[in-house]
Chain A
């Protein structure tokens, strides 16, 4: 293996976690003092983290293929992928809105997902019959995309509540946090809520179909937690439909936060119960 190959092979979670941590520290420092080249530095460090992150996933896929295993078929890979998606979202948004301190809210979400990935690093891979079936793909993919949407929605929801509170308190502009407008936050909050509701519902539905097709008995804990999540999604949809104030302002932010809490509880359970890897009860 070449020297570059050796270096790349040594890329670990801590490499990109460190980059994101550095990004967070620099983003936080923006609240207190101004340094001319800092924004560029933040983008360079984040880009380096994203590259390391992508290489890490690439190496994971490569080693899975070499071992004739299904790539990215573990909760560890699932969390790493979700973290990459949120980090990419932050990177694009930071370039589009350089004056806003979005990283203060989004990078912690990335770090939580990376931490979760580190905690389940040695988890067993998902049990598959070889190639991933269409329903498995929809189940895993939808839940992954839905989780990313909820995670982003949570960060945007917190931003909305902070911005709303600052505006209510009449804090002068140009001091402390610089956040996007309330309109932008509300619109994207609602978008995240809508997209995540559809994706999570689709993921749950695909999971049910998959189990029926494979005639696998439903895991009791997962069934209960998924059922609770499904009921919550139905409740959110009805609430939005019937109660007009829930479609705007702080109510949307509260809903996305509640969404996040529900999903975190359900995911916490299914990840640590090793759902899908054949070791859960």
Chain B
């Protein structure tokens, strides 16, 4: 049995490159159907996220899967690209490497933000999509179900996914949640339309924030951000009034000087009546003068404050990394042993059948020769003796095969067994 994964990841390819190869659910179904037509005995699952594009393949024999070049050609053709342009970015992993990779991916150890929970649901979705399309089989079922179990085990036995390590996620989950019970009725003001602001906004939307205003010097950019997320784009001139109404401000402009100075805030402070205002100033250089944080009811956090927590969480996660890796190693070893056991089972059965056939033939020949000299007792004793002989002869090779299920050269042992005993498919 073989289990392979061909993929490109955030580790060794740029986001621009990965964007060209992304698959929608419909496209994934199409390419998997194509593969099923050309390789009907192969099981496939396609995992396509913003950080990776991976095709998992499994079959009884390696030659039932397409070679790497053919797969690259297929992917390139599908996206109208040149195979030579993408070949270097793809990596093929086989058997234990591939299983280990799947388990590590599902457990979010291979993610850009280690421990983020989203990847597990993406793996589940990919598996379900392939199952619904009829592209999966016994090996992929076992592998993906094991991957989900391993991900849960890693989540339970380590704290690797309990601490956030991206600035936007920390800003919302670790800081904003200490101020607000819910975000549905809060006025959220996003100043600037940068990447960090957008990501923070997405986390806030996940937390049910609905009253969102985006203000930017270039109104068109604010409108673009609104289209990608949600909320309302407002002209720059309304900034002061929006500050009066805001409960939470996320500021991420690239302005060289502070936008909200003490004087500017002083002018509107009386209209806020000391209502709580959380300001997440994620801009460098800062958009809010530090002294604005001294107003009653204003809590001002800059990117350094968040980065400190980010670093601390990263350190805490790295302490959990060895244990998480041990779990992945242990589980992938167990899975490979199980897979090997399943793939050797039919060959062991075939060998035992062949030996039994040999025994029956030889016993029959001998009993015919002995004729009436062999009474019932002799016949029984001969039968037992032949059985014992077969068992003793087969025991050492079969035991080696079973014990070698964990070893890398297990497939070699099976091949040797097939050749030595001339076992047929």
Chain A residues whose CB sits within 8 angstroms of the CB of B296 once the complex forms? 245, 249-250
Nearest-Cβ distance from residue A96 to partner chain B, whole angstroms: 12
Please, how many angstroms separate the alpha-carbon atoms of A268 and B296 in the complex?
Answer: 34
Q: Contact string, B131-152, partner A, CB cutoff 8 A, digits 1/0? A: 0000000000000000000000
Q: Would you give the shortest CB distance from A15 to chain B, in whole angstroms? A: 37
Q: How far is the CB of B259 from chain A (nearest CB, A)?
A: 21
> Does more than half of chain A's interface fall in helix, strand or loop, or is it mixed?
helix
Does B154 sit at the interface, judged by CB under 8 A? no
Q: Is B273 an interface residue (CB 8 A)?
A: yes
Chain A 226-247 against B: per-residue CB contact (8 Å), 1 yes, 0 no? 0000000000000000001101
Instruction: Encode contact with B along A2-40: 1 for CB under 8 Å, 0 otherwise.
Output: 000000000000000000000000000000000000000
- The CA-CA distance from A139 to B389 in the complex, in Å, is 100
User: In the complex the two chains form, is A249's CB within 8 Å of B180's CB?
Assistant: no
Using an 8 Å CB-CB cutoff, how does the interface string of A168-207 with B read, 1 for contact, 0 for none? Answer: 1010111000000111101100000000000000000000
B36 in the interface (beta carbon within 8 A) = no
> Are the CB atoms of B273 and A248 closer together than 8 Å?
yes
Residues of B within 8 A of A181 (CB): 177-181
B297: chain A residues within 8 A (beta carbon): 248-250
Q: A173-B174, A173-B309 are in contact. Are A183 and B274 (CB under 8 A)?
A: no
Q: How far is the CA of A183 from the CA of B301 in the complex (A)?
A: 18
Closest to A172 in B: B309
| Chain A CB within 8 A of B350 CB | no
Q: Is the CB of A249 within 8 A of B181?
A: no
B69 sits at the interface (CB 8 A): no
User: When the two chains form their complex, are residues A167 and B178 in contact, meaning their CB atoms are under 8 A apart?
Assistant: yes
Q: Which of B175, B297, B305 has the most C-beta atoms of chain A within 10 angstroms of its own C-beta?
A: B297
The smallest beta-carbon distance between B271 and chain A, in angstroms, is 10
Which residues between 177 and 204 of chain B lie within 8 Å of chain A, taking CB atoms?
A: 177-181
Contact of A182 among B163, B178, B308, B309 (CB under 8 A): B178
Contacts A167-B299, A249-B296, A250-B296 given; does A173 touch B273 at CB 8 Å: no
- B275 close to A (CB within 8 Å): yes
- In the complex, A168 Cα to B292 Cα: how many Å? 12
How far apart are the CA atoms of A187 and B179 in the complex, in Å?
Answer: 12
The reply to whether A249 and B177 form a contact with Cβ atoms under 8 Å apart is no
* A163 is an interface residue with CB less than 8 A from chain B: yes
Is B276 touching A248 in the complex (CB atoms < 8 A)? yes
Contacting residues, chain B, for A172 (C-beta < 8 A)? 308-309, 312
Q: Are the C-beta atoms of A163 and B274 separated by less than 8 Å? A: no
Q: With A and B bound together, what is the CA distance between A155 and B152 in angstroms?
A: 39
Q: How many residues of A contact B (CB 8 A)?
A: 20
Among residues of A, the one whose C-beta sits closest to the C-beta of B308 is A172
Judge if A121 is at the interface, Cβ distance under 8 Å: no
In the bound assembly, the distance between CA atoms of A182 and B178 in angstroms comes to 7
Given contacts A245-B274, A248-B273, contact A183 B309 (CB under 8 A): no
In the complex the two chains form, is A245's CB within 8 Å of B180's CB? no
A-side contacts of B299, CB under 8 Å: 167-168
Please determine whether B276 and A183 come into contact, CB atoms closer than 8 angstroms: yes
CA separation between A173 and B316, bound complex, in Å?
Answer: 14
Set of chain A residues within 8 Å of B309, measured between Cβ atoms: 172-173
Q: Decide if A249 touches B308 in the complex (CB within 8 Å).
A: no
Task: Verify A251–B179 contact, CB threshold 8 A.
Answer: no
Contact of A184 with B181 in the complex, beta carbons under 8 Å: yes
A250 CA / B305 CA spacing, docked (Å): 23
Shortest beta-carbon distance from A98 to chain B in Å: 15
Once the chains bind, are A244 and B273 in contact (CB under 8 Å)?
yes
User: Which residues on the A side are within 8 Å of B273 (C-beta)?
Assistant: 244-245, 247-248
**B174 and A182 contact, CB distance less than 8 A:** no
Which of B174, B276, B309, B312 is most buried by chain A, counting CB atoms within 10 A of its CB? B276
Contact (A183, B175) CB under 8 Å given A168-B299, A249-B274, A250-B296: no
Cβ contact within 8 Å between A249 and B178: no
For A173, give the chain B residue with the smallest CB separation: B174
Cβ–Cβ < 8 Å partners of B276 in chain A = 182-183, 186, 248-249
B308: which A residues are within 8 A, CB to CB? 172
27 CB contacts below 8 A, A to B, read: A170-B305, A173-B174, A173-B175, A173-B178, A174-B163, A174-B174, A181-B177, A181-B178, A181-B179, A181-B180, A181-B181, A182-B276, A183-B180, A183-B181, A183-B276, A184-B181, A186-B276, A245-B296, A248-B274, A248-B275, A249-B274, A249-B296, A249-B297, A250-B274, A250-B296, A250-B297, A251-B274
List 11 additional contacts besides A168-B299, A170-B301, A245-B274; criterion CB under 8 Å: A172-B308, A173-B174, A173-B309, A182-B179, A244-B273, A245-B273, A247-B273, A248-B273, A248-B276, A249-B297, A250-B274
9 interchain residue pairs of minimum CB distance? A245-B274, A244-B273, A173-B174, A245-B273, A183-B181, A183-B180, A182-B179, A249-B297, A184-B181
